[in-house]
Structure 1
Amino acid sequence: RRAFRTRMGWTALMVAVMQGHTGVALLLAEHEKGFSDGTGKTALMWAARHGNREVARALVPREKGMQDILGQTALMYAAQNGHADIARLLAPHEQRRRDSNGETALLKAIHWGHAGVVQILVPLERDLRSRRGRTALDHARAEGRQAVVALLS
């Protein structure tokens, strides 16, 4: 299989997702799913990052569980960008994964202060510790995320 790519390695599907052209992305999804760009990001990761739930739902069966060159998953992109609906969609498939820094989707959501995503991920990743042995609650306190501290306490 081949796909047209930009100099960055983006496929037409990825560009459609980035530019918010949902209808075009859904048409291209069947033909270009499963490809990754020069940094290992898939169209699902781009959809999670940009909050496109409809495209994310279409790509989950083929692209779930994939990681980019930094070890990040689509769930991590949804978590750090505050897209709770997409995090809910991806959590059953990508929970408890770690990136190359040892961070989980929950830790990313805490860092960026996305309480809605934290609420989804707490039951799934609360018991995981960072490489330094810190809990999610430790991270929330260190980041000064009082709403998240309340969720975790």
Structure 2
Amino acid sequence: MDFPYPFAELTPSSRPHPPVVAKVTHHSIELHWDLERKAKRQGPQEQWAQFSIEEEDPKTHTYGIIYTGYATKHVVEGLEPRTLYRFRLKVSSPSGEYAYSPVASASTTREPISCEHLHRAVNVNDEDLLVGILQGGSVKVDVPNKLGLTALMVAAQKGYTRLVKILISNGTDVNLRNGSGKDSLMLACYAGHLDVVKYLRGHGASWKARDLGGCTALHWAADGGHCHVVEWMLKDGCEVDATDAGSGWTPLMRVSAVSGNQRVASLLIEAGANVNVKDKGGKTPLMVAVLNNHEELVQLLLDKGADASVRNEFGKGVLEMARVFDRQKVVSLLEGRRKQMPKKSAVPSVR
């Protein structure tokens, strides 16, 4: 067998050629070698020259074998982006003689822009990075992250108004929803970012949108407790008594159940919220406030005309509910109110 290299008479000029760098990506380098002799192999494989590719360790400057065999190409994978790598080829004869090629160097390419880069730019509020990614055109602006949130949803939730404007100018859909049905407007309302709320409204976001539970942006704003946002939303025309799909709760009912925020409740009532509305179980905001021991809200609702005589589907009134759940302060408040109510005088019948 005529081996490709005269091992016994090895000189610098007769050393194997370095491996040829072919395709390079951000995580792989493809190497080729001995291309001119590939077609001349004869006889059984054990009589062929064997090839090894060795990679240099940049810290110790020693070489380790990453491939051994009879092929004439190898793809080195699992590499770091934008990194220089050095390789050499070792050619061995069946008798054990071997020769090394000069070193071949190659650098991996820059990591391609992905949705992770897009969301990373939004998370750290990096305007320049976001603009560069979007101008590159390789990432869709509405691709969701692992939590199902678009970049706009994240920016709206965090209150990054400049990023919201950049994303909208690059074609993001303001009405997309996450897995629970919330859109960017709902997230901004709950978080209290009025500038973002105004901008989203000016670019097609709707007050009529509902999440999977049937809640509107006003429900979420009421939960968030940000009065300046609630006040602007009401002036902008959102429906004050929209009911959710589960319990039939209005935003005022949500306040009664969740936060007990008196200031938010006042804004809702001033905008026309029905203080005596009933949910699907027959409960009023006053009943819900009593059950959740929101004493100041109970006082407000009574001042605004809540009917303490209304009973639920089981025939229970607010005073009975307060006693059953041992809401002592609320019981005292309700009893005091009842004593203050003028007694109805008997009206003589007309014959």
Whether TM exceeds 0.5 here: the answer is: yes
**Which residue of 2 is the match for residue 108 of structure 1?**
254
Percent identity, aligned pairs only, is 28
In proportion to residue count, which structure has more helix? Answer: 1
Return the offset for 1:2. Answer: 6.9
Partner in structure 1 of residue 277 of structure 2:
128
1: CA distance, partners of 2:231 / 2:266: 10
Counterpart position of 1:50: 191
The normalised TM-score by structure 1 is 0.88
Please tell me the residue identity of whatever aligns with 1:118: A
Pair 1:6 & 2:155 matched: no
Kept in 2: contact 1:42–1:63 (CA 8 A):
no
The 3 A distance-change label for structure 1 pair 29 and 127 is: farther
Which amino acid in 1 is paired with 2:160? H
Which deviates more, 92-101 or 46-55?
A: 92-101
Superposed, which structure 2 residues align to 1:83-94 within 5 Å?
A: 83-91=226-234, 92-94=237-239
RMSD: 1.9
Counterparts of 1:20 and 1:108, CA distance in 2: 24
* Aligned 8 A contact 1:29 1:58 in 2: no
Alignment of 1:64-75 (within 5 A): 64-75=207-218
Structure 2 gaps of 5+ residues are: 1-139, 303-351
| Corresponding residue pairs, total | 153
Gap runs ≥5 in structure 1: none
Q: Which has the higher contact order (CA 8 A, sep 6+)?
A: 1
Deviations 1:81-120 (A, max 9, x none): 1112222222331321111221111111122111111001
- 1:129-152 CA deviation, whole Å, 9 max, x = no partner? 111212111222221111111211
**Residues 36-88 of structure 1, C-alpha deviation per residue, up to 9 Å, x if partnerless?**
11221100000011111111112235221100111111111110111122222
Matched, 1:76 2:76: no
Is residue 19 of structure 1 aligned with residue 162 of structure 2? no
Superposed CA offset, 1:2-29 (max 9, x none): 7222233211111112233222123324
Q: Secondary structure at the match of 2:145?
A: coil
State the match for 2:240 in structure 1: 95
Q: CA, structure 1 residues 132+85, in 2 after alignment: closer, same or farther (shift >3 Å)?
A: same
Runs of 4+ that moved beyond 4 A: none
2:178 aligned with 1:37: yes
Q: Give the TM-score of the pair, scaled to structure 2.
A: 0.41
Does the CA contact (< 8 Å) of 2:225 and 2:261 recur in 1?
yes
CA distance in 2, matches of 1:90, 1:19: 19
| CA distance in structure 2 between the aligned counterparts of 1:87 and 1:29, rounded to whole angstroms | 24
Tell me which residue corresponds to 1:117.
264
* Counterparts of 1:2 and 1:19, CA distance in 2: 17
